[in-house]
């Protein structure tokens, strides 16, 4: 997880918080958070990187729509990240 960009970690958080979100739903959620447009050329290559690293699974709803879920490893990595963050930020 330490070799991921902040954007990739944000993708994982959004995926973890959704119910098998599709790419457009992830894009819209991040645009609301960032208050700026997230281009497809940034979104999908980063999602593919997370899939390649074994942190995210990609499924297919229909011929045009993919959905994303965290793998077991992805969930463990995200939990470890949260534990690490909590050492430094106690809100």
Give percent above pLDDT 90 in the chain. 91
What pLDDT shows up at residue 1?
Answer: 79
pTM of the model: 0.92
| SS3 (DSSP) at 27 | helix
Query: Tell me: the pLDDT tens digits for 17-43?
Result: 999 999 999 999 999 999 999 999 999
Nearest to 70 by CA among 27, 19, 33: 19
Give percent above pLDDT 70 in the chain. 99
What angle do helix axes 23-34 and 6-17 make, rounded to 10 degrees? 120
Q: Is the dihedral of CA 31, 37, 61, 52 positive or negative?
A: negative
What pLDDT shows up at residue 85?
Answer: 92
**How is residue 30 written in tokens?**
């991040």
């Amino acid at each position: 997880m330490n070799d991921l960009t902040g954007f990739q970690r944000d993708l994982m958080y959004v995926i973890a918080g959704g119910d098998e979100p599709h790419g457009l739903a992830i894009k819209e959620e991040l645009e609301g958070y960032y208050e700026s447009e997230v281009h497809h050329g940034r979104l999908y290559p980063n999602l593919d990187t997370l899939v390649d690293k074994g942190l995210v699974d990609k499924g297919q709803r229909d011929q045009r729509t993919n959905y994303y879920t965290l793998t077991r490893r992805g969930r463990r990595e995200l939990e470890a990240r949260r534990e690490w963050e909590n050492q430094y930020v106690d809100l």
